[in-house]
Amino acid sequence: MSTTSITLRPVQPEDLEVFYLNNKDPEAVWMAAFTAKDPADREAFDAHWARIMASDTVIIRTIEYHGEIAGSVLKYEMEGEAELSYWIGRAFWGQGIATAALKVFIKELEVRPLHARAAADNLGSIRVLEKCGFTRTGTDRYFANARGEEIEELIYILE
Ligand SMILES: CC(C)(COP(=O)(O)OP(=O)(O)OC[C@H]1O[C@@H](n2cnc3c(N)ncnc32)[C@H](O)[C@@H]1OP(=O)(O)O)[C@@H](O)C(=O)NCCC(=O)NCCS
């Protein structure tokens, strides 16, 4: 898919309803694994988004695909390192949207290196990172709320 089919724009308040539904979709939550304790908790979702939208170190974009809200991509900081995260609504999976959006976003962000993490069995996310030029630097193990146990996580970097 050409990157011209997607648009990244600043988040508008009405996007949050879509993000909330996407973020509590059970199949997506299982994939992402490292999620909020209760992704259906609307109050916690609203508090989290209010916090990240107000943060100076977080950059968030809504991904539009032919004018529809397909998902979100964001950069945040963890222990001083720039980390990327993304989430596409299930109805939009498998059309190259995450790859196209991430390519545009990393071009827009001037900061390097960029870091990203994915559950070791999140094959879609791993493939997106590899297609965007990230290389794997190692693995870690963390407790994944969505799985109720510690699982392996792959660590990626874009220099
Ligand atoms: C993972 C996710 C971002 C992929 O989004 P997407 O728009 O469907 O991804 P793309 O269409 O750009 O696909 C990129 C590649 O991954 C592959 N892929 C996508 N989903 C896959 C899956 N579930 N299993 C295996 N491969 C998959 C595609 O085939 C494509 O590879 P190819 O070009 O070699 O064929 C999306 O499924 C999602 O948001 N999931 C829930 C949240 C999540 O996991 N976020 C990431 C947290 S680290």
Pocket lined around ligand 1, Cβ cut-off 6 Å: 28, 31-32, 86-88, 93-99, 118, 122-125, 127-128, 131
Q: What is the CA radius of gyration of the chain?
A: 15
| pLDDT for residue 45 is more than 80 | yes
| pLDDT for residue 79 is more than 70 | yes
Pocket test for ligand 1, best of 8, 75, 86 (most atoms within 8 A of CB): 86
CA-based nearest residue to 155, from 92, 79, 71, 103 = 79
At residue 54 the predicted structure's pLDDT band, cuts being 50, 70 and 90, is very high
What was the pLDDT predicted at 5?
A: 87
Whole-number average pLDDT of the chain: 95
- Assigned token pair, 107: 């071009």
H-type alpha helices, 5-154? 15-23, 26-32, 42-54, 97-108, 123-131
Query: What is this structure's pTM?
Result: 0.95
H-type alpha helices, 61-140? 97-108, 123-131
- Assigned token pair, 20: 């909330």
At residue 125 the predicted structure's pLDDT band, cuts being 50, 70 and 90, is very high
What was the pLDDT predicted at 100?
A: 97
